[in-house]
Amino acid sequence: EVQLVESGGGLVQAGGSLRLSCAASGFTFDDYAIGWFRQAPGKEREGVSCISSSDGSTYYADSVKGRFTISSDNAKNTVYLQMNSLKPEDTAVYYCAADSPAYGSSWYCENGMDYWGKGTLVTVSS
């Protein structure tokens, strides 16, 4: 059974940083597509950053390029999202997601994935 557990959310002032973690189990971590999505109140879900082992690609949404970095520790089955220079518009529930690596990273961030965590709330105050 695939399980994804996010942690690291919280309240931070604009300009600050947070690092989200996603502990994964139930699949071969280095042979998967995995990524971070977010959903703000009243808005559609957005693919923030995704990695796919199908082509080794990494995708970032334009809204976070240069500020957010996705990384993984295969030994710990954990993926991270380092978020710097946070803005109030980054406020959202952030979800970790995973899927079989059939497509490139942009496809997953645009279309979603099969397995989801429960999310962690990030609030950026102005």
Contact assessment for residue 57 and residue 117, using Cβ atoms and an 8 Å cutoff? no
Structure tokens at 20: 């989200």
| pLDDT for res 27 | 82
User: Which residues does residue 25 pair with via DSSP β-bridges, in sequence order?
Assistant: 3
Distance in angstroms (rounded) separating the CA atoms of residues 61 and 103: 17
Q: Which of 9-23, 28-42, 44-58, 92-106 has the lowest average pLDDT?
A: 28-42
User: What's the pLDDT band for 30 if we cut at 50, 70, 90?
Assistant: confident
- How does pLDDT run across 68-109, given as a tens digit for each residue? 999 999 899 999 999 999 999 999 999 999 999 999 999 999
Alpha helices in 1-126 (DSSP H): 105-111
pLDDT band at 2 (very low <50, low <70, confident <90, very high): very high
User: What's the CA gap between 102 and 88, in Å, rounded?
Assistant: 34
The whole-number average pLDDT for the span 16-24 is 97
Instruction: Report the mean per-residue pLDDT for the chain.
Output: 95
* CB neighbour list of residue 126: distance below 8 Å, 6 or more residues apart: 14, 88
Inform me whether the pLDDT recorded for 42 exceeds 80: yes
Mean pLDDT on 47-51: 97
Spell 97-109 as b/e; 16+ CB within 10 A means b: bbbebebbbbbbb
Judged against a pLDDT cut of 90, whether residue 125 lies above it is answered with yes
